[in-house]
Every structure is written in structure tokens, then in C-alpha cells.
Amino acid sequence: MSSSSYIHHILLPLLILFLFSHKASSDQQTQDLINQICNQMAPETEFCRQTLTDNLPSPSTDIYGLAKITIQQTFYNAGKTGESISNLLARETDQAVKNALIACQNAYSIIQQSFLQATVEFEEHNYKVIPDVVDGTGRALDSCLTSFDVPPHPKNPLVQQNKEMRTLLAMANVCGHVFYK
């Protein structure tokens, strides 16, 4: 293989892959904001940091940018979990599990709708109304969690998704206290 052919067939694709897969790393001010938010998320500090850093639009992202990431990721996560619940419901035969999953499907629908509205308000710079828009999402998630506590206490297949959503809702709450008021 000639060196020209080697460059075109091997190195060029690797270079393109590197250039397009490189994530923006944060500057010190952005990292301080991420720490300010995520240090309040124990024991899910690492999930919080990864969620924010993996979605940075630029190395210098302010609190508005971090709040936008949180809103978008909460909306996305709620939709993804809603799809998972639909798939579980299609296969489930145990009525107790189905009932609990239906409660969770309703909860995640409320969360997704609320964060869709929060996205609209954010884009229109109506920051002060966002806490009211997402108010109740924590209670909606609680209804999912407690639906598995009803006898006969079916096994909860959504433990990880619920933990991530609880963290995302807490992240949104922290961001809200920083600048929505």
C-alpha cells in the first residue's frame, strides 16, 4: 500500500472521527458551576457531572447553558423511559406489575410534558415561570416509585431510570434556584 493510499484509507478516517467525536471540555468557570450543581447531587454526583460535561455546547458554558442542558436531558430521559415502559407493558403478564407500570407511564408523561413546556419557556426567556411549569414533577415521579410498594409488591424494573430521573429533577431544581428567581 502506498503512503498516499495509507493516509486516505487509514489516517484520514481516524482524523475525521477524532475531530467530530471530541467533546468540548470545560473551562474553570464552567467546571466550578458544574461542581456547584453536582456536589449537591450525592450520591449521584458523577451522573450529574457526566450529564453536564457530555452535553456542553462550548467550553465556556454559563448557568443558563447548564440549565438548558438539564431541561433538555430531563425531557429526553423522560421520553426514553416512557418508551421503555411501553415496551415492558407490551410484554408483561403480571397484572400487579402492569398496574405499577401504568402509574409510571403516567408519571413520565407528566414529566415529559412539563419539561417540553419548560423548554418552550426557556427559549422564550421566561425563566421565572419555569419552576411553576415543572412543579409537580417530583410528585409524579414519587407516584411511580410508590406504585411498586402496593401489595403484592412487584419487582420494580425501573430502578435505574427512576434514580437518574430523580437526579435530573434535583439538578433542574438547583439550576432553578441559581437563576430563575
Per-position DSSP letters for 72-87, written without gaps between them: HHHHHHHHHHHHHHHH
Buried-exposed string 66-99: b where 16+ CB fall within 10 A, e elsewhere: bbbbbbebbbebbbebbebbeebeeebeeebbee
Q: Which CATH superfamily is domain 28-179 in?
A: Invertase/pectin methylesterase inhibitor family protein (1.20.140.40)
Alpha helices in 8-156 (DSSP H): 12-21, 28-38, 45-54, 63-91, 95-123, 130-134, 137-147
User: What confidence tens digit (pLDDT) does each residue in 58-94 have?
Assistant: 999 999 999 999 999 999 999 999 999 999 999 999 9
Q: Are 67 and 122 in contact (CB under 8 A)?
A: yes
Domain ranges of the chain: 28-179
Please give the grid coordinates belonging to residue 107: 408519571
Q: According to the model, what pLDDT value does residue 181 have? A: 53
pLDDT digits (tens, 9 = 90+) for 169-178: 999 988 877 6
pLDDT value at residue 26: 72
**Residue type (1 letter), 58:** S
Select from 102, 106, 87, 81 the least CA-distant residue to 166: 81
Residue found by looking up cell 415492558 in the block: 88
pLDDT tens profile 91-127: 999 999 999 999 999 999 999 999 999 999 999 998 8
More confident residue, 126 or 12: 126
- Give the H/E segment covering residue 146: helix 137-147
For residues 169 and 74, is the Cβ–Cβ distance under 8 A? yes
The stretch 2-29 carries a mean pLDDT of: 51
The pLDDT value recorded for residue 152 is 83
- Does the pLDDT value for residue 148 go beyond 70? yes
